[in-house]
Amino acid sequence: MTREEISQLEDFFANAPKQATPIYLNEATVIENYDHFLESHFTPLRLNPESRVNQPLIWRLKALKLIVEANL
């Protein structure tokens, strides 16, 4: 993922309405603290956007984006 794509995701979440929690991304992933979830996912992506280790972070952010878009 490029820095520009990360920036676009950050902009989306900055402008989207804050979601009520808990949010269930799947059976194993429950978001209890929306702001903490976003920060804990964007921080490593900002530091090393090309790292393959960060791929699950991208998947979870994109899944959350789909949920937020569905609730708009």
Residue showing tokens 């799947």? 26
Q: If we measure between CA atoms, which residue out of 19, 6, 15, 7 comes closest to residue 55?
A: 6
The domain tally of the chain equals 1
CA–CA separation, 17 and 30 (whole Å) = 19
Q: Residue 30: what pLDDT?
A: 96
- Cis omega before residue 22 (within 30°)? yes
pLDDT for residue 17 is more than 80 = yes
Domain interval for residue 41: 3-70
- The string of pLDDT tens digits covering residues 18-56 is 999 999 999 999 999 999 999 999 999 999 988 999 999
Residue showing tokens 């309405």? 17
